[in-house]
Structure 1
């Protein structure tokens, strides 16, 4: 299964990761700077922040299943880890061919799998079980949709996240909906909503149904918040400085006495009236 000139997959059919906490801290710092540069703001639904902070000290494994609408999604996972789960180790699957190209991601705990090989599910489960047994507070990050999916499409998940959660009785699981939109600035904004999943039955089927329905519910909730264009229901993780329309137009507005940059918060307050 290996390729000439590249590292071969192990006998179990995956490329192991090697989590490095120091590298993870540095990469988290870099990721935050990058997001601040590329996005006007990154916002998390305010009521979800306390839940995420509360999971930081969970002694068992944690499974975080993220929606996958964009290339930026894994970097938002890095931001969540930095802001809410800094003392937890991380691991997660990545296409093995891509991981060979970007090998430094192995130091974040990412391991390579062949997404088209049915045997990868079992290999991943065995590997994650070893990581969970080795690490004190392990976290498994995964985008179980398996490919880029528009946030307006119905949520359909592959079984990997459910298989991992079902195999570990002490595991807790969180779904994270993601969406990207333009509000008041030239740059886009990233939005997140999260919820913990509690299946009635901790079987693989029970976990799969709960993860899928929970991610759908969070996607629907987040869509309503984003369409409202009101920053108040969100906690800002990155950015949210004064928004600008366009530098030349901003200058024209100031010269004509009509103000310059638009603040998203001010516009939202004017639209909704006094609180």
Structure 2
């Protein structure tokens, strides 16, 4: 079996036939998603340590906004979720929205934003199971368990959204302002993660200006954004735009040779030679998602 696995000609075909491999990658792109997300987190300990260090500074009173850049499928979402899942602190609330998964308009954003904040604060304040408020009526019920301020916010949101026409600027202002009020009432610092932030540019033509005008005055709410469209982020954060100088920029790179080899070893159920691992590294350029997909394709092929 070992000789079969390591046979140069067979392995060469499995790795180096670009057209066949490309088709296999695309076919398996969304396979084994949970496993891929776990494996892709290898060697992000440095970046996780950076995020944890900034969160400690936030707890101490600093206000730190972060912009996380990286190509698609580089592991940005996995890193942010890993950070969120490792935070165990009653004084720090970490909320998260993947903006590709909500309706890209003002109504979709303000609903998702309010739902996440109220749901997260409710979960943090009780040991009991909390149902996610998929409908606004469910959100009102959940808000009633927190207090009058939360009830007023949800009712105002619902009444505004029922109007045939509503002022989007006012609605966005109401939503962003709610986070600071929530932080003050519950005596917490908030980190709100907005994943795939470039999607918000479709929400409102003045979205960035409105967000900046309100959030720059907030002392307890921090925004960590991520995205993969570099041109959009460069434009958004340049000196002519509202958020210039407001974010610490972190770039997530492809894995280096050593980290790619570690990822290959963790993914495969058997060992490859350094030469074969180098071929995979050259083929994927250290891109973690595609490295995992290639390895799983090899595993499936040699399990037959």
Superposed pair shares fold, TM > 0.5: no
- TM-score, structure 2 normalization: 0.39
More helix by share: 2
- TM-score, structure 1 normalization: 0.42
Greater gyration radius? 2
Identify which of structures 1 and 2 has the higher relative contact order when contacts are C-alpha pairs closer than 8 Å and 6+ apart: 2
